[in-house]
Amino acid sequence: VCYYHIEVSRFYRFLYSILIPLLLVGIHLEKPKYTIKKFLFLYNIVIIINVIYGVMDFVSGKKLQMILANLLYNTSYYTSINWDIQSQVYRLFSILGHPLTNMFLLVIFIGVNLAYNYYYKEKASVPMYIIYGTTILGTLVCNSKFGIIIVCATLFSIIMVGNNKGRNLALLLITSISILSIGPIKQNVVQRFLMASESGDLSNGRLSALDYLSDSNVPLPNLFTGEGMGASDSLLQSVSDLNNIEMPFVMYMYDYGILVTILIYIIFYLFPIIIFIKNKHFYLCYIYTLIFVFANSYNGMAVSIGITQILTFTAMLLINMSNKLKKQID
């Protein structure tokens, strides 16, 4: 059954993976600090265990990934893991998701912990040096090139704000040097950068996808309507051997139209940022911008794998933190 040539299944996926999650941003929390602290207590445990799993898998030569692949036989995740197993580099596939999803979760992990520590002047659940060490080690096993840049920008902020810049710098340097001294892990990251450089496309196909679209004279996105989730994938596959554009903003325009895309991004990004600026919480602006930028560096937001829900939930927590802190000052 179709409605305006859009399959009902695509419309349903749009509802539960894009439209309904946008409503999360407007949720009001009565006790933001208490809620965020409880959230971080559980979230920190999950991420630390996930990174430990990644290190164990790296040391074992991807044996845990092989077990995971067998458990997920005949799924797209199975195919992705098997492709990675055959590659010359290690990237963290776990029950939490693809390496880029694991990296996204790490960016939120360090970002929200830093925000909590900065504004409430206390750690959320575990010492900050464990947060730093877990973030750096996790970033290396996730092995995302852009993720490394985002995490470096996030960690750089700890020596730019707060009252203990010298101590934070020393702690960060000691942690970084200690982890980077682990030769195999460092070499694994270097190898991935070299492979991307040799391929001639550091973006891993993202820029190539745009080139195919521009060179093939495909129609431009419509202003008001699209053809539903997955339309951008089908369009790219019709003119190339690539599967995905990997740029949510472009995918949204083809899937839902230009106007709807602008409205989505106003709620995703401008709404939280305006609140942070109004409340003069510029560090939250910085942290949320880094989280948002990484979320937009791959296709997770534009497909129904839960990334949009995670992003809007994070925005909701930070918005409530900002508004409550502002009321306390007033």
Q: What pLDDT is stored for residue 296 in this prediction? A: 92
Q: What pLDDT is stored for residue 137 in this prediction? A: 92
Tell me the average pLDDT across 268-292.
96
Better-scored residue on pLDDT, 4 or 177: 177
Tell me the average pLDDT across 78-90.
84
pTM, two decimals, is 0.89
Low-confidence winner among 215-219, 268-272, 297-301 (lowest mean pLDDT): 215-219
Q: What pLDDT is stored for residue 182 in this prediction? A: 75
Above 70 in pLDDT, residue 239?
yes
* HEC profile of the chain: CEECCEEHHHHHHHHHHHHHHHHHHHCCCCCHHHHHHHHHHHHHHHHHHHHHHHHHHHHCCCHHHHHHHHHCCCCHHHHHHHHHHCCCCCCCCECCECHHHHHHHHHHHHHHHHHHHHHHCCCCCCCHHHHHHHHHHHHHHHCCHHHHHHHHHHHHHHHCCCCCHHHHHHHHHHHHHHHHCCHHHHHHHHHHHHHHHHHCCCCCCHHHHHHHHHHCCCCCCCCCCCCCCCHHHHHHHHHCCCCCCCCHHHHHHHHHCHHHHHHHHHHHHHHHHHHHHHCCCHHHHHHHHHHHHHHCCCHHHHCCCCHHHHHHHHHHHHHHHHHHHHHHHC
Better-scored residue on pLDDT, 99 or 169: 99
Q: What pLDDT is stored for residue 54 in this prediction? A: 95
22-78 pLDDT per residue, tens: 889 999 999 999 999 999 999 999 999 999 999 999 999 999 998 998 888 888 788
Q: What pLDDT is stored for residue 202 in this prediction? A: 60
Low-confidence winner among 25-39, 161-175, 253-267 (lowest mean pLDDT): 161-175
124-144 pLDDT per residue, tens: 889 988 999 999 999 999 999
